[in-house]
Amino acid sequence: MGFQRQLVLFIMAFMNFSYEHKAIAQWPPYNSIVSQVTKHTDPTNNKPLYSVEIMTKYFWGDFIHTNFLIDIDTPFIWYDCILNYDSNPTENYTCPSKTVCADPVSCGEPECRDIQTSSSYKQYSSSCPPATNSLTLPGWSGCTCPVSIVDPINGSCGEGLLGISELYFEVPFFEGLFPNTLCAPSSTFDLFPANVSGVMGLSTSAYALPSHSVTNGVFPRAFSLCLPSSVSKTGVFFLGSSSYYFSPHSKVDVTSYLSYTPLLNHSDSFGYFIGVKSIVIKKRAINVPTNTTTKLSTLEPYTILRSDIYNQVVRRFLKVTRELTMAKPVAPFDFCYEASTNGTKVGLKVPDIDFSLEDGKKWTVHTANSMKQVTKDVACLAFVEGGATSEHGIVIGTHQMEDNFLKFDLVNWTLGFSSSLLTKGTSCASFNSVNH
């Protein structure tokens, strides 16, 4: 029992599996793998959320595909699965056909002790009661390893059981045996968007996917996100680092568009932070107070500004857009504009908003990312006030990330950003997998 036993079984299974799939299976070296990203609407509050599709089970010639909510803060990978123990799984595998199963990790094994005593876990689960729901599975003498989990949508506490899972990535094909993943009950995902039944931790934690022991050393410790701007189109997620080509520019590597800024450490978070020195609107700089933290979030839909920063930004924005016709505000926005004239839709364009970074680079927020079309006739400034005492001065939300290519490089500890791909004549929905 334990990881060594699982590794032997994995090698045996992979030899059989790769023979059957030799037409598509590849094994490193290659530098990255690709999965599609889907935009969803949160059923509880109508805000956008994003998922990455990963295959979680191979059964009778087909895969079960699971959509994992993208979370760049959470330290773990957890999803809808059950722990299943069989003393001889290669001959008598009892996992139900439409259920995803993982092999249990005993509460007495080092993996369990490591995760429950790590500073990552204690920091993440500090608001939750200790996980105590240990079980004994049929045919197994060990006890399971319970781990507290936090719902990224509403912050509620739950429990998962530590296991060893098989995850499959399709382009190029990669199969990995992932220890330190968590199985959570199906009911955990009742309030998630339809067809989303997992959480993909992409944070700086050692248990998150970018630093996971299975991928670390196989792929460069990096990942990239390109979030789609429509629920009818898909974006892309890349694990690793490579060249990427988006139609119609089949010979232009999209990473050539990137500027880079350092990622900053924050002692109380597994998330990603950058240094913003000022916010520039039409050549006028709004200074950001020293020591202000700027966080990136895949859960907040719109950029949040602390009150002192927000008030200066909107004052300047209103001044440079005074020729536009104001409309009645639409929650959660404070400032909206008419986007039609006499019933005819017009192309609303506003001045760029630049995040001026500490190293002299600038992340430009163009109209598509600064304005949110809330009705066919009204568009609103997609920045919201966070209050006078908000923890972070700036939280960059997903509306400002859509159709931007973002590369999180954990080797060089940098963020690569493209600003809007729309200005380059392409989008996150235009990835050309043929050239990958």
Question: Smallest Cα–Cα separation from 400: which of 48, 33, 106?
Answer: 48
User: pLDDT tens string for the chain (436 positions)?
Assistant: 444 434 333 333 333 333 233 223 334 456 899 999 999 998 888 899 999 999 999 877 789 999 999 999 999 999 999 998 865 545 455 788 789 999 999 999 999 999 988 877 888 888 898 888 788 888 788 899 999 999 999 999 999 999 999 999 988 888 888 989 999 999 999 999 999 999 999 999 989 999 887 887 788 899 999 999 999 999 999 999 999 999 999 899 999 999 999 999 888 889 999 999 999 999 999 999 999 999 999 999 999 999 999 999 999 999 999 999 999 999 999 999 998 755 555 578 999 999 999 889 999 999 999 999 999 899 999 999 999 999 999 999 999 999 999 999 999 999 999 999 999 999 999 997 756 6
Sign of the CA dihedral running 151, 46, 373, 323:
negative
pLDDT at 375: 92
Does the pTM exceed 0.85?
A: yes
**Rg of the chain in Å (alpha carbons):** 23
Q: Which helix (H) or strand (E) holds 119?
A: helix 119-124
Per-residue pLDDT reduced to its tens digit, 324-383: 999 999 999 999 999 875 555 557 899 999 999 988 999 999 999 999 999 989 999 999
Round to whole Å and give the CA distance between 65 and 231: 18
Residue 289 φ/ψ, nearest 5 degrees: -55, 145
Round to whole Å and give the CA distance between 270 and 207: 11
Round to whole Å and give the CA distance between 394 and 2: 44
Strand, coil or helix: 198: strand
Sign of the CA dihedral running 66, 67, 72, 76:
negative
Residue 388 φ/ψ, nearest 5 degrees: -75, -20
Round to whole Å and give the CA distance between 12 and 16: 7
Question: Smallest Cα–Cα separation from 236: which of 46, 16, 433?
Answer: 433
Question: Smallest Cα–Cα separation from 359: which of 259, 247, 426, 252?
Answer: 259
pLDDT at 434: 58
Residue ranges and CATH numbers for the domains of the chain are 3-219 (2.40.70.10), 256-422 (2.40.70.10)
Round to whole Å and give the CA distance between 171 and 20: 17
pLDDT at 28: 47
pLDDT at 282: 97
Round to whole Å and give the CA distance between 113 and 118: 8
Round to whole Å and give the CA distance between 426 and 349: 19
Report residue 76 as tokens.
């773990």
